[in-house]
């Protein structure tokens, strides 16, 4: 993994490169960024650059023996730790190394749910157990095999729980030329004793334009398709890939027609759209559509609150939300978002889609046509 292969984050890349060139590599670092931002990929690229035998000014060479091993995640001085399902108390992350390599090399922007799917986790809990903590201590107490630095990359230390206390002394006083990189998404769930011993590197979510350009270049999407998915993903490349695998390319058209029928109380047309479009999408596409609809409603609220500068939409979507914002109140939009979120919840639990979306349509008709808001569980 080289820096040039990672989307965006120019300032972070420059910072990491400078720490190596200036010999200011902190022995314990916390890469903190939201899911799908590329924080895990940056950690790997940083480790590869650190141990590259022929460093370039801004990136690793990608060709030396160290880089070739790093690119396949088989370098003997690169250690990986991550949440997994422990079938026995002595299990460690190494028991899932092959699955991890395949998953990361396929999708370096992966989120926890993607990784759980590779493990066939179902409803089982993943964590980083005490056996893994002891294994880390043992591996890092050994001398480096061939690289200048031994590197441990731990993904989602939030799942370390109290077992992390076993690593405190090692993190605070590691062997010489040892680097810890903790890649996290939620700082509040990490042990404070660990946070206090690390140098924080904050990683922002990706820009919409960066995600859209990636989708157009890598997946040959049109401008419209890429913009729509980037808008839904909101800087999360893992979510963009999820959308790519399920999208119908017509969320905007369906949403506009649906809302037009709702606000005019066109019952026959509304029922037809529910039966022929919404109920036949399939569960994942229904979730995707609702996620898109929620995002559009949030953009409308931004416009109504005078924050148009924060709205980044293609021309057609922008024209729609600007016109919609003129005619309806914040109270109506907020009630709509709540109903969309409730419907998303029930879609995930396999509710009958025809009944679910028809009920939602009738509730929205009350809100927009008759300005009657739901109270409790009795809407009609």
Q: Are 53 and 8 in contact (CB under 8 A)?
A: no
Q: What tokens does 101 get?
A: 């390599």
State how far the Cα of 111 lies from the Cα of 321, in Å rounded to an integer. 31
Residue 109: predicted pLDDT:
95
Residue 380: predicted pLDDT:
41
pLDDT along the chain (380 residues), means of 10: 94 96 93 95 97 95 96 95 91 93 94 86 80 92 90 93 83 89 92 90 93 91 84 87 69 93 94 93 84 91 91 83 94 95 91 95 94 63
Residue 284: predicted pLDDT:
74
Kindly give the pairing relationship between strand 150-155 and strand 178-184. parallel
Residue 379: predicted pLDDT:
42
Q: Buried b vs exposed e over 329-363: b needs ≥16 C-beta within 10 Å?
A: eeebbebbbebbeebbeebeeeeebeebbbbbbbb
Q: Are 159 and 190 in contact (CB under 8 A)?
A: no
Residue 273: predicted pLDDT:
96
Residue 331: predicted pLDDT:
94
């Amino acid at each position: 993994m080289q820096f040039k292969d990672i989307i965006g984050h120019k300032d972070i890349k420059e910072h990491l490169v400078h720490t190596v060139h200036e010999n200011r590599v902190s022995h314990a670092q916390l890469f903190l960024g939201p899911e799908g931002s590329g924080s895990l990929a940056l950690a790997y690229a940083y480790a590869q650059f650190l141990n590259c035998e022929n460093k370039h000014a801004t990136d690793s060479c990608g060709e030396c023996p160290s880089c070739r091993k790093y690119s396949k995640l088989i370098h003997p001085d690169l250690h990986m730790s991550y949440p997994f399902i422990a079938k026995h108390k002595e299990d460690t992350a190494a028991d899932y190394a092959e699955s991890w390599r395949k998953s990361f090399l396929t999708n370096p922007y992966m989120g926890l749910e993607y990784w759980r799917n590779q493990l066939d986790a179902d409803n089982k809990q993943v964590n980083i157990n005490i056996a893994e903590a002891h294994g880390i201590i043992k591996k890092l107490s050994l001398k480096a095999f061939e690289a200048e630095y031994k590197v441990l990359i731990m993904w989602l230390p939030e799942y370390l729980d109290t077992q992390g206390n076993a690593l405190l002394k090692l993190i605070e006083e590691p062997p010489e030329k040892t680097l810890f990189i903790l890649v996290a998404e939620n700082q509040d769930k990490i042990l404070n004793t660990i946070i206090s011993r690390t140098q924080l590197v904050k990683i922002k979510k990706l820009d919409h334009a960066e995600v859209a350009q990636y989708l157009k270049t890598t997946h040959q999407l049109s401008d419209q398709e890429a913009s729509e998915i980037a808008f839904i993903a909101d800087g999360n490349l893992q979510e963009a890939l999820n959308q790519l695998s399920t999208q119908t390319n017509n969320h905007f058209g369906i949403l506009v027609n649906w809302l037009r029928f709702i606000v005019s109380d066109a019952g026959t047309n509304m029922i037809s759209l529910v039966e022929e479009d919404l109920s036949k999408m399939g569960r994942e596409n229904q979730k995707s559509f609702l996620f898109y609809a929620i995002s559009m409603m949030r953009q409308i609220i931004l416009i109504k609150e005078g924050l148009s500068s924060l709205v980044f939409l293609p021309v057609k979507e922008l024209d729609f939300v600007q016109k919609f914002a003129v005619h309806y109140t914040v109270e109506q939009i907020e009630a709509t978002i709540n109903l969309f979120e409730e419907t998303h919840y029930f879609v995930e639990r396999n509710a009958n889609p025809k009944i679910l979306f028809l009920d939602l349509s009738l509730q929205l008709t009350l809100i927009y046509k008759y300005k009657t808001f739901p109270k409790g569980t009795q809407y009609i």
